[in-house]
Chains A and B, each alone.
Chain A
Amino acid sequence: MKLEVKKLSKKFNNITAVNNISFIIDKNSTMGLLGPNGCGKTTSIGMMLGLIKPSEGEILFNGTKADTANNIDILSKLNFASPYIELPKKLTVKQNLEVYARLYGVKNLNLRIEEISEDLNIGQFLNKKNGELSSGQKNRVSLAKSLINKPKILFLDEPTASLDPDVGDFVREYIEKYKKNNELTILLASHNMSEVERLCDNIIMMKEGSIVDRGTCKELISKHGRNNLEETFLKIARSKNELV
């Protein structure tokens, strides 16, 4: 599914959180959304997920503008994972997955839960309460929830934050593998530059609500004359407020 954002802005009273951003994520590609804290990444994702009403601009999914009339249909093709939101702690992993499978109208939900549990290696704690899991286990469960409906577009907000290198690598590898075998467009917001280099086809750099640069990873590194994406990020983040 192709995602197109056109001249999107969001103002909270007199503060501009997102300022006239436009970009296209082609079907089956991964876009990295980078920027320092408070640059408008979460607000942008919130608007794409229908949680925040844009002040201006539009969001199109496969050419269809998202509005209240087709909101349910569009939402059934999206999903989101973030370590900053959780699943109910008192429910078991299986109960949580069952609830969300029902909310997303998943057919053969037991089969789907079995399938995703096996893929993400969470089968051994399906009957454990979510609150009793380690961060790594919770993270995999959150990813399982975000893929329960086989989304066409997946929004990932720092999917490997606070994970040890082993689990982080497992998650990144799984996302790569899943994407290879399924039709999936990804928007990835992350502060882990090696993760972005590994997973993303294109990158958008945001600063103070605006897009200040964009391109492939290699293009951005060479354009700014740096050795890697981390150095490039620092250069852009610390530069004055001009568009690069």
Chain B
Amino acid sequence: MNWSKIYGLSLRHIYLIKSSFPRILDLIYWPSIQVFLWGFISEFFTMNSTYYSDAVGVILTAAILYDFLFRTSISYNMMFLEEIWSRNFTNLFIAPIKISEIITALTLTAIARASIGLFPAALLAVPFFGVSLLSLGPPLLLLLISLYIFGITLGLLVTAGLMRFGPSFENIAWASLFFLAPLGCIYYPIEILPEWLQIISKCLPLVHIFEEVRSILIYDTVNYIQIIKAITISCFYFMLGVVIFYTSYFGAKIRGTLINIGE
């Protein structure tokens, strides 16, 4: 891996963000709106639910973490779509860079983009709703890592689809996370789901992450096995995502779609 090339590719996206205030605002705006929306819902449930009464802000914490996953995945997709929209795709793929370097650059830049949204949202939750992500303690870092890996994986799968099916796959990019949300048990315990759906849900890292968040905030217990399970599942999907991305790239070379994807 050539880190100078990875830096060069990341620089393209850093320049893009730096050059446009509306872009920065867009990155901050939606997570902040989520904080207020889920903050008020969270307060309502705290006042009217016995389940949540002992842990103010369980829903809000889950909402912020889910938004981090959403932003990571969307950031990854957006950076890839930017190349298609700007008709720069051919320039990029004829440059002497390896696919692994492109994946690494997008992965590293996605965390920067997602963090721009995460930090202000997390900070806003403290004075307005008295909710701090830090109340999750040291496991927070591991939970964020797992969400980040899974977010990147979803980004990889969508970009693989973009290479396979072209820009028309764009709509799937926006819909992918909404599709997984009901199965992720972000705002409710897994027992709510029918049994057959619980089996499918357990194959996703989201269930283990958000069950653990509730366990820490409501019962004050940390189950590191659950966290390791979430990271392991995320890593498995990430590796699968990389394989699918490579397959899609070589398939696009055979079909000749790399040369006219932006047209």
Contacts and interface: CB of A to CB of B under 8 A. Distances in A.
Contacts, number: 109
Nearest to A130: B86
A85 B253 contact: no
Contacts of B19: 90-92, 129
A99 interface: yes
Instruction: Tell me what chain A mostly uses at the interface: helix, strand, loop, or mixed.
Output: mixed
A99 B92 CA distance: 10
A99 B94 CA distance: 14
Contact of B16 (A12, A88, A145): A88
Instruction: Tell me what chain B mostly uses at the interface: helix, strand, loop, or mixed.
Output: helix
B91 A98 contact: no
A75 B256 contact: no
Interface residues on B, range: 35 or more
Nearest to A10: B256
B232 to A, nearest CB: 31
B96 A75 contact: yes
A154 to B, nearest CB: 12
Interface of B: 2, 4-5, 7-9, 11-12, 15-16, 19-20, 82-83, 86-98, 250, 253-256, 258-259, 262-263
Interface of A: 10, 12, 17, 42-43, 46, 49-53, 71-73, 75-76, 78-80, 82, 84-92, 95, 98-105, 129, 145
Given A91-B19, A102-B4, A103-B95, 17 more contacts: A43-B259, A51-B259, A52-B253, A53-B250, A84-B263, A85-B87, A85-B91, A87-B86, A87-B88, A91-B15, A95-B11, A95-B12, A98-B11, A99-B9, A102-B11, A105-B4, A105-B5
16 contacts: A12-B256, A42-B259, A43-B259, A53-B250, A75-B95, A80-B90, A84-B87, A84-B263, A85-B91, A86-B88, A91-B16, A92-B19, A99-B11, A103-B9, A104-B96, A105-B96
